[in-house]
Amino acid sequence: KLGIRHDVKLIPYVSIHVEIEDSATLLKTQLSCGLPLPLEWNVPFSLNANFCIEENRRHIVWNTNSDADVLQNIKTTWNHYMMTDLVAPACVAMLEKLTEYVESYQIYTYFPLKINSTMYWKSF
């Protein structure tokens, strides 16, 4: 899927943090790639994943330009893979685990029902 490139080192990793003590109070959550990214993140859980990010650490690489260089396309493909094959299943596992701690009618409060679909969430 990604091809073999010895100059690109990518390790799949995803972790999710959700606060279950008081679901009525939405804590500040973050999107991180090792360190927090300065992106708007209106989701009721924090996500840390090994996304490919821009050199300035301000954006996840999500290229929509077909004329981009090969490395940009690899990074975009990687991020798509991360969202569809790792982040989505991790979110499902989080929701399943939450059923052990909260009432079933509360589960919806832990998952975003409206997501900014103009960016990388489209593949989610």
Q: How far is Cα 32 from Cα 57, in angstroms, rounded to an integer? A: 10
Q: What is the pLDDT of residue 118?
A: 46
What's the token pair of residue 19? 């606060």
Q: What's the pLDDT tens digit per position in 45-88?
A: 899 999 999 888 888 888 767 666 888 888 888 999 999 999 99
- Place 114 in a pLDDT band, splitting at 50, 70 and 90: low
pTM here is 0.78
3-state SS assignment for residue 46: strand
Average of pLDDT values for 18-42? 78
Phi, psi of 7 (to 5 degrees): -90, -5
C-beta separation of 29 from 45 below 8 A: yes
C-beta separation of 75 from 61 below 8 A: yes
